[in-house]
């Protein structure tokens, strides 16, 4: 099964993806992590994208599209992927459908974690003390939230129409959310 996990910055996508990876033996594909690796390894791509990421904007659909194709085309991960942070735009959602079809796969469920801007700010400031991310400060967090709100509407309509979308209250506690996600996944496994 392939899962998409979706939501604003600080919604808990990374935390819940790790839970799903352990419980259902899937592989996490976090485009944010892949992009941060490029920056940490000082690659050409890394130097191109660091200022975009640190300003809270999205990197181009083409760049992230290339990164995910490497993952989707790898037989080791076939039908075992949790997409964490991809897609973020309608173009990316259509690209994801295209690539999955190309490698004979599909999305089984889209999990959307809903949280308020206030919660996002609080969680990102907490995370700032644990991880050293250039984009985890209040100003960029607000910008990332707005970027998310602007780019996600069409994407959500798209998944709503396809009946794959499940909306989860991301304000709840971590284990409560994990239980809800687990039940939803068990439900579609049948
Ligand atoms: P994340 O770790 O998912 O919060 O992503 C951190 C940053 O990486 C985002 O604010 C974007 O600048 C960039 N990024 C991650 N995933 C994508 C994506 N699918 N499309 C465009 N930019 C992305």
pLDDT tens for each residue of 133-144: 888 888 998 999
Counting ligand 1 atoms within 8 A of each CB, the residue from 29, 58, 95, 131 with the most, and so the one to mutate, is 58
Q: Are 31 and 67 in contact, with CB atoms under 8 Å apart? A: yes
Which atom in ligand 1 lies closest to the alpha carbon of residue 84?
3
Which atom in ligand 1 lies closest to the alpha carbon of residue 85?
3
For residue 53, the domain's CATH number is: 3.40.50.300
| 19-61 pLDDT per residue, tens | 999 999 999 999 999 999 999 999 999 999 999 999 999 999 9
Number of domains in the chain: 1
| Residue numbers of the domain that contains 78 | 3-189
Cα→Cα distances 38→60, 65, 113, 139, 144, Å: 15, 15, 27, 24, 20
Distance 3 CA to ligand 1 centre (A): 17
| 64-101 pLDDT per residue, tens | 999 999 999 999 999 999 999 999 999 999 999 999 99
Q: What's the pTM?
A: 0.94
Q: CA triplet 112, 116, 121: central angle to 5 degrees?
A: 115
Strands (E), 50-126: 81-84, 109-114
Pairing state between β 165-169 and 109-114: parallel
């Amino acid at each position: 099964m392939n899962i998409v996990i979706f939501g604003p910055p600080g919604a808990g996508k990374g935390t819940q993806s790790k839970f799903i990876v352990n419980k259902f033996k899937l592989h996490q594909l976090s485009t944010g992590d892949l992009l941060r690796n490029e920056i940490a390894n000082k690659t050409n791509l890394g130097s191109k994208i660091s200022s975009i990421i640190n300003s809270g904007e999205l990197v181009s659909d083409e760049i992230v599209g290339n990164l995910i194709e490497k993952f989707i085309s790898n037989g080791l991960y076939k039908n075992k992927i949790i997409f964490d942070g991809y897609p973020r735009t309608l173009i990316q959602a259509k690209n994801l459908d295209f690539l999955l079809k190309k490698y004979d796969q599909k999305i089984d469920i889209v999990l959307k974690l809903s949280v308020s801007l206030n919660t996002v700010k609080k969680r990102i400031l907490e995370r700032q003390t644990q991880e050293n991310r250039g984009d985890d400060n209040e100003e960029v967090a607000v910008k990332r939230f707005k970027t998310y709100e602007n780019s996600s509407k069409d994407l959500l309509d798209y998944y709503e129409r396809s009946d794959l979308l499940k909306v989860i209250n991301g304000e709840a506690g971590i284990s409560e959310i994990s239980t809800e996600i687990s039940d939803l996944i068990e439900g579609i496994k049948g």
